[in-house]
Amino acid sequence: MRARVCGGGKDAGMSTSEYAMGTIAACAFAAVLYKVVTSGPVAAALQGVVEKALHAPF
């Protein structure tokens, strides 16, 4: 039954090279996201949001 659900049982999981490519892609995405978040306009916008949230009246 399991072989039928998993597509014949020929490929049970990822190989080492697929894990390596996935890791490289995740690291590249993290680097791009870090550059975007630490850029001037985005950092200023995030700082404004945090300051507004911290100075909210109760």
Residue 2 in any domain: the answer is no
Residue 18 in any domain: the answer is yes
Handedness of CA 41, 45, 48, 50 (dihedral sign): negative
Residue 5 in any domain: the answer is no
* pLDDT confidence of residue 55: 87
Residue 50 in any domain: the answer is yes
* pLDDT confidence of residue 2: 54
Residue 37 in any domain: the answer is yes
Tens-digit pLDDT profile for residues 1-58: 555 555 555 666 668 888 999 999 999 999 999 999 889 999 899 899 999 999 877 6
**Residue whose token pair is 């100075």:** 55
* pLDDT confidence of residue 1: 56
- Is pTM beyond 0.75? Reply is no
Q: What is the 8-class DSSP label of residue 58?
A: -
Which residues constitute the domain of residue 41?
14-54
Residue 38 in any domain: the answer is yes
* pLDDT confidence of residue 10: 66
Residues 49, 55: contact at Cβ < 8 Å?
Answer: no
